[in-house]
Every structure is written in C-alpha cells, then in structure tokens.
Amino acid sequence: MGEEIVRLNPQEVWSCFYCLTQIPRPSKKEEKIRAFMVDFGKRPGLESVVDEVGNVLISKPATAGMANRKGVILQAHLDMVPQKNSDKLHDFEADPIQTIIDGDWVRADGTTLGADNGMGVAAAMAVLASQELQHGPIEVLLTTDEEAGMSGATGLKPGLLKGDILINMDSEEEGELFIGCAGGTNGRMIFRYHEQPLPPDSKGFRIKVTGLRGGHSGVDIHLGRGNANKIMNRILSHGQRTCGLLLASINGGSLRNAIPRESFAHIALPADRVAEFLDHFSMLTNVIKQELSVVEPALKIEVITAELPETVMEQAILVQLLNAIYASPNGVVRMSNDMDGLVETSNNLAMVTSGNGTITVDHLFRSSVDSARDDLEIMLKSISDLAGAASLFDGAYPGWKPNPDSPILKIMQEVYHQRFGNIPNVTAIHAGLECGILGGTYPDLDMISFGPTIRFPHSPDEKVNIPSVTKFWDFLVETLKSIPEK
C-alpha cells in the first residue's frame, strides 16, 4: 500500500515524496533522512554538505545560458510532526508512512502524512534531479527540527548561503503567495506537589478524552476545534468542586504546535460520591459534546473503573492547577486589523503532563505583532503567580514582516497570471515559517513562500490535494525560468 502514488502526476515530484514516506523523519530524529538527502545530492555529483546544526545544503549549477541569473535558494524542512490515532500501531522512528489515494487527495492510514513539509522537500529533490529544467544557480536548503523549535533555521550561520532569492515551500494553500508570518514563544507553567496517601474508602477511575480532530496550532486555530486539555480540565474541575475528586496523574497533548486531540487522567473518588459523580459526568459530557457537535462529531469522553492509584496530589495544588488552566487563554486572542480573516494573536494550551511531583502546562503563543506576543507572556506569568506556580518562557522566534514591494513577489504574480489566467492571493500566515529567522541572519534575501494545498497538518487527518501539487510544480518550474539577471 502506498506505492501507487508514484504514478500520480507530476511523477517526478510524487516519486520523490514516496521516497520520503519510506524514511522515518520525526522531529529530533532526522538522522536517516539527513543521510538520505546527502546521498541524493552526491549521486549526480552535486555539492552536498551538512552544517554544524544538521541542516543540509545541496548546490546545483545553472543550466546552459542561465548562469547570469540571480541565485535561488529553495527552502523546506526535513522533519515531520509524528501524530497518530490512539488505535493505530505505528513507530514513527522505524515504520514507513502508509499513503492512501482518496479521490483528489492523498492521506495517510491513521497517522500524519508528512506532506508538511515533505511536498516542499520532494519538489526541491525533483529540481535537483532534473536534466530538463531551465534555471539559474540553485541552492536547496533543508533545515532540521522546524516543527519542534526551528533550531535548524536558528543555528544557520551567516555566509553559508550565496543566493539572492529565497523561496520557502512550506505554505499550504495553492493559489496564495505568502509574504509574512507570525512569530512565537513557548510558555510553561510548573506546579510542584507532594504525593499523598489515598483517603479510606476511595474508588479509582480513568477519564479519557479522545476522538478530537486536532490540527496545526497556527493554521487551524481559528476553526474552533476542541482542546482536549481544556475539556479534561472542565471535567476534573467540576468533579473536584462537587464530589471531592482527587487527581493521581494526567497526560494531555503531545506537541506544542498541535492542537491537543487526547487527554488521560487517573483519579480517585470517595466511595459514597461515585454515583453522584457519574450522574454529573454524564450530564456534563453531554453538554460538552453538544457544544462541539458541529466541529467535533467524533469526540468521546469516557470514565472507566480502574485500579486505585497508590497516591494522589495534594488538594490545594490540584485546585490551583485547575483554576490556572481554566484561566489560561486558548485559541484566537485577536484577529488582524491589517489583513481580513487573518489571526493576529493566539495561544495553544498544548500539553498538561504530571510525574515525579511536577505538573507542567505547556503553551505556544503566536502573533504577528511582537508586543501582543509579549503581552501573552505577561498574562501567563500573572496566572502562574496567582496560582503559586513557576513560569518559563523560551524558544522565541521572530515573525516575518510583509514586504509588498518584493521583486520576487512581482515576478511570481506575473508568472502565475500568465500560466493559470488569474492573479494569486497575497497574504500572510498565522504560523511560524522559517523566513523570519532566516531573514534575520540574511537580511538582504528577497523571500516568498508558497506550496500545494494541504489540509489538517499536524493531525492524522492531514491530506494533500493532488491537482494542487500539479499546479505547485508547474508554478515552480515557470518561476525558475523567469528569475531575472543579476
């Protein structure tokens, strides 16, 4: 299963993408794909190097008669987000991605597909492999660790790149040209607690929140999807206030940049309050499901009889934790005043994890306005201070300020119009493209981002539109022909 995608058009791109599906490449585990790409470049004799942080740079000379054109850097990232459905057996560090053709779309079998950003990598590979395309000097920059911190882009040293134009291929809407993106910051609340013995006559239960759609915490944040951590907190808080619920452990969400799809908690209840809790639980879960019925039709909220936990966290810390999560913003904070329909500022309450006397609550703030992002940090710190928790902020990366006068923008608008008969939409994206970071290191680069249509990245619903890949490739080929002279 999966090999049939190599017969899709354009075959030169899909065959490269198929190769990528066979090589494990979750963030932080890119050794195999890095080695594959270096070998891919060296086989036809192209200069292929790995820098000190793990980025791969492959250079291809200009084709005949094109040596005087400006140099183009084709940029994508090597890693993919490893997400799967809870019933899917898949090891992202060892197993290939199983692809399925579903009408006009390609998706995976219960896992993320890796079209983000495998389609960009595959297009770059097709350019490198082609003996027929016309283009000036080409550099292919494949960065590492984009999805888990952008450390590859951050660690790229000045002087390595020689090109004049950077074309990022990590956008997800065909027919749109992106000239700006949001910056971001990781925020963490840290609670310390003492484990306490169970009160006598307690009963153990496990609560499960599953079936949510999840998605990209930037691209999909405006869709109003359920957040498993918020849903779980609502249930736990109600149980604590009404029935004396005690918490032994909690684990919700798995990545900062993915809307959390699942959450699991191990709890204890006084034996004489179990029936009351179950009645409240049934009523509350029905309310939550009704609230989210349109956007989350597959939501499941279950309580299951379980073994008694050995210990529970102290009640005072539990109350502080639940109140802090309740108070934390989640989703869209503000829409942009500059671009219709664009999210300016958001927060993803991404992970809640307990263990060894510590509970961490991880957030990812995004904003195209640095001061608004900073304001969210102050908000979270204020909540943490009121709740008696520590707070930590790291991994900040800049946004990419739009340049409506960009020369490559003008070229690509004209190429698209000539090739497809209409003008592409020019916009920005509420996600962290690496252009902001790369532009800080190489301030003279003329940058743009585009890509095929990808839906629901960072979730097992991820899929890429087949006709859009054809247009994406044709657009790239014609753009490379049209790069002006130096």
The residue to which tokens 């008669």 are assigned: 65
Q: Which fold has domain 3-182+399-481?
A: Aminopeptidase (3.40.630)
Give mean pLDDT, residues 436-453.
Answer: 96
- Mark whether 272 is an active-site residue: no
Question: How large a percentage of the chain has pLDDT more than 90?
Answer: 92
Q: What is the pLDDT of residue 1?
A: 54
Backbone angles phi, psi at 465, to 5 degrees: -80, 125
Is the model's pLDDT at 2 over the cut of 80?
A: no
Strands 331-335 and 446-449: unpaired
Backbone angles phi, psi at 270, to 5 degrees: -60, 135
pLDDT, tens digit, for every residue of 275-313?
Answer: 999 999 999 999 999 999 999 999 999 999 999 999 999
Q: Which of 30, 79, 446, 462 is catalytic?
A: 79
Write the CA distances from 139 to 75, 125, 162, integer angstroms.
8, 11, 8
Average pLDDT in the chain:
96
Q: What is the pLDDT of residue 87?
A: 85
3-state secondary structure of 401: coil
The CATH 3.40.630.10 domain(s) of the chain lie at 3-182+399-481
What pTM did the predictor assign? 0.80
- Exposed, middle or buried: residue 394 (CB in 10 Å: 0-12, 13-18, 19+)? exposed
Q: What is the mean pLDDT of residues 366-387?
A: 95
Q: pLDDT per residue over 202-258, tens digit each?
A: 999 999 999 999 999 998 999 999 999 999 999 999 999 999 999 999 999 998 999
Q: What pLDDT band is residue 401 in, cutting at 50, 70 and 90?
A: confident
**Overall average pLDDT of the 317-340 stretch:** 94
Positions of CATH 3.30.70.360 in the chain? 185-397
Tell me whether residue 146 is one of the annotated catalytic residues.
yes
- Rounded CA gap, 314 and 319, in Å? 9
Decide if pLDDT at 469 tops 90: yes
What is the CATH architecture assignment of 185-397?
2-Layer Sandwich (3.30)
* CB of 55 closer than 8 Å to CB of 143: yes
In the set 30, 145, 146, 362, the catalytic residue is 146
